[in-house]
Chain A
């Protein structure tokens, strides 16, 4: 047993043993979790994938004369931002689209520009056009503003993501006769391909599957800078079925995270367009897992063969919210390039970049080894597998009750 304080002492003395989750698999296989727990202090994880529930809020500072954008309208490079806040605070989500985007009118739509792209451009240091209108008040007389700004020009720019870092996710296939354009990418008819979206052995929440070492206040790698876990994510669903080792067999836990957009690195935060679906943001997250005991060492050392994802048909089961699962496949199979569904062999593709996940885990490892990043004790836990927290469905109720 080690405490996070003890591990931090070792980090300060330059004596901490830090490995990536990929390396930990080999260490545990060779030495067993008991020796591995004594030997290794921190396991770093990483993930780099499209995460739609991502957003920023900005404070522009005040113009002269002042304008009350709050309650007015605001466009950033032609994309509407939410203004129901104070005078010069606005909120922009990753999936926001310009009002003149044709959507899926000419199916499948391209969705070539939106909120996610603006977030990436801001992080890259590019100028963004702010156009806002207001009704004018005695204290805020200006009714219109049009100005370019960069991140450097404004007071605050904060990345706040209500749901990131899914613990496990569906493998999407298409049983129908026609091509599908989904948030899980293009799905070819008749099981033409299978798309998955997890970093597998590097995926943060698969390494601490019962949220023992992380929680509210945990410092993390967020898009190239330090960020924090601020809450459990929306749709956090910790009570799903788990393997005997404790790994969820379905999409389960999620995290809400926050960080300073101004300090982020454009390599680790990218706008993305899904043909026929929409715009989103690719987010890079890495979480350090302190190896406080053998149980954590055991989890961090589980190989991809011991992690399973459900295969879901996105032609009927997913859109109609049916619980049907066609098969369970391991991440070892998914990363091998093909999976077996019944008697079919289906080629796989990943929406989450393992190459980038590895870079994130390596970067975090370097930060900790070089004493640039200390571990934090969470100030509160997020709901665990005994919490009774379940995902609710929205049932249609036409009459007021």
Chain B
């Protein structure tokens, strides 16, 4: 079964300059999408990544990351948009750093693409009718 796993990775200082993700992808043939990354030389690195692939392969790949001393945590907070409250104004559209909120060209509705969301939560503050909620 194919799955998508959203994880927060923390790289120790000594791993930051190593191509850990690239090695992993080459080895396990999984897809990845970096939602957010903060990697600086000689500092702990942080990355939010979605891995997609066959379930057992994704699990194996994450296990290998852990073995390399990378801290692996599931992204725990979720953003939920309440369709009943949303007025489709788009106050969230310009704020969203990843384009997870965007206008549908024909219906003019604001669409929320959960897969692109990095739960930075700026939309929660920016929504004037409180249609966006956090689920822990």
Contact = CB atoms under 8 A, between A and B. Distances in A.
Interface of A: 48-50, 108, 112, 185-186, 188, 193-195, 270-275, 280, 282, 335, 337, 347-356, 358
A281 B93 CA distance: 21
Contacts of A108: 125
Contacts, number: 78
Contact of B89 (A275, A335, A347, A353): A353
Contact of B91 (A188, A349, A358): A349
Nearest to A268: B87
B92 A355 contact: no
A348 B110 CA distance: 13
B87 A348 contact: no
Interface in B91-136: 91-95, 102-103, 107-110, 122, 125-126, 128-130
B81 interface: no
A272 B89 CA distance: 12
Contact of A351 (B102, B103, B128): B128
B98 to A, nearest CB: 11
A186 B126 contact: yes
Nearest to A350: B90
B93 A275 contact: no
A130 B91 CA distance: 34
A195 B88 contact: no
Nearest to B109: A355
Given A354-B108, A355-B88, A272 B93 contact: no
* Ranked 5 nearest A-B pairs via Cβ: A349-B94, A193-B94, A355-B88, A272-B128, A353-B89
B54 to A, nearest CB: 35
A353 B94 contact: no
A186 B132 CA distance: 15
A314 to B, nearest CB: 13
Given A275-B125, A275-B126, A358 B108 contact: yes
B130 A273 contact: yes
A185 B108 contact: no
| Interface residue tally on B, bucketed by range | 20 to 34
A222 B88 CA distance: 19
Report which residue of B90, B94, B103, B126 has the largest number of chain A beta carbons within 10 angstroms of its beta carbon.
Answer: B94
B134 to A, nearest CB: 14
A185 B91 contact: yes
A349 B129 contact: no
B129 A337 contact: no
A270 B131 CA distance: 12
A350 B89 contact: yes
14 contacts: A185-B126, A186-B95, A188-B95, A195-B91, A272-B128, A282-B87, A282-B128, A337-B102, A350-B90, A350-B93, A353-B87, A353-B88, A354-B88, A356-B89
Given A108-B125, A186-B91, A347-B94, 19 more contacts: A48-B89, A49-B89, A185-B95, A186-B95, A186-B126, A188-B122, A195-B91, A270-B129, A272-B129, A282-B128, A335-B103, A337-B103, A349-B91, A349-B94, A351-B89, A351-B90, A354-B103, A355-B108, A356-B88
Nearest to A272: B128
A348 B129 contact: no
B108 A273 contact: no
Nearest to B92: A349
Given A282-B87, A350-B89, A195 B128 contact: no
B92 to A, nearest CB: 7
Contacts of A348: 93-94
Contacts of A335: 103
A112 B127 CA distance: 11
A108 B130 CA distance: 16
Nearest to B104: A355
Contacts of A358: 108
Contacts of B129: 270-273, 282
B91 A270 contact: no
A120 to B, nearest CB: 9
A335 to B, nearest CB: 8
A186 B122 contact: yes
B94 to A, nearest CB: 3
Contact of B94 (A48, A195, A354): A195
A9 B32 CA distance: 64
B105 to A, nearest CB: 10
A30 B1 CA distance: 52
A277 B90 CA distance: 18
A124 B24 CA distance: 55
A362 to B, nearest CB: 12
Given A50-B128, A185-B126, A337-B102, A347 B93 contact: yes
